[in-house]
Amino acid sequence: MSAEQPRRSREIKPDHVILAFRVIAHLVFPWLTAKFLYKPRVGPRRRDRALDRLAFWRSVVGLLAVLVATNGYLSPFVVLSDNYGKALRTAGYALLAAPLPFLVLLAVTRSGFRSELFSGGRRMLGRGALGLAALGLPLAVFFAADGGRYFVDSLTELLLVLIAVVVIGWYATFWVCTLYWAARTSFWMSEIHPLLAPVASVFFVLLITVQEIIQLDTKGVPIPLWLALNLCGLASTLALAVFEYRHAWSTGFRFRGGPRPVPAPGRLDRTKLAGQ
């Protein structure tokens, strides 16, 4: 006789309810949707999580500092528009420059580890393609609907307007969050190699800062204050990048060793001795 199979329990457990609420929250709030789709994986160590939170708060505190410091000279809308333009340029530069570090790493990485670069490259391309599709969708909808005319009654028209406001508001926030993740991750270069992210962030911020100084468009802000804000942004980015790079290096990441950590020589010797 065959053993009686245990029946699957259909009882709703607290974990199921929490998971359902999380799914609903990720669908309702656009910033959670963008975070789920675009945020690279964070390492399991406490310092990994601390550096990830520090990167977020550096952006928030930096933006608030600029808003407060330039309150007497610029409107908040101009400041937000300027930071939006910088994020857009950062993402655009990273998109154009992404093939070069991948080819350089492909050349310098040891032959036994090169295959792992392709999986990271596919992840970067997947996130990048999804981000570009999200950023380009409003333009596609605009051109597709250009010149179209619809005749509906007043009640249906009001309902459509309300739905459009909600959808546009949700998507506009999602659009900005998509741009934020593309700029913050330097177009997801860490998916190729963890050491690329801090190096790329410093390079792009330095490039944009030099452009700002050459153009010298202060928009009415006194030059000493304007220069101090730009240099402070560059310095904070550089300091965070140094901490990220040193942490990744101490964890065991090497440019020639592929995107996975390898044990340091001293740690490797202690492991062998412990095994003996």
On the question of pLDDT at 150 being above 50, the answer is: no
pLDDT, position 219 = 85
Q: Model confidence at 155, in pLDDT bands (50, 70, 90)?
A: low
Mean local confidence (pLDDT), 90-100:
85
pLDDT, position 271 = 41
Residues 237-258: tens digit of each pLDDT: 999 999 999 998 988 888 888 7
On the question of pLDDT at 147 being above 50, the answer is: no
- Of the ranges 8-17, 66-75, 171-180, 262-271, which one carries the lowest mean pLDDT score? 262-271
CB-CB contact of 154 with 94 (8 Å): no
- Residue 102 and residue 120: Cα distance in Å, rounded? 10
Among the listed residues 110, 51, 1, 12, the one whose alpha carbon sits nearest the alpha carbon of residue 242: 51
pLDDT, position 193 = 87
Maximum average pLDDT range among 64-78, 100-114, 128-142: 64-78
Query: What share of the chain in percent tops pLDDT 90?
Result: 12
Residues 35-45: tens digit of each pLDDT: 998 988 887 88
Query: What H or E segment, with its residue span, contains residue 240?
Result: helix 223-251
- Residue 219 and residue 233: Cα distance in Å, rounded? 18
Q: Report which of residues 7 and 188 the model is more confident about.
A: 188
pLDDT, position 151 = 46
Mean local confidence (pLDDT), 61-65:
89
Task: Decide: helix, strand or coil at residue 267.
Answer: helix
Phi then psi for residue 97, to 5 deg, are -90, -10
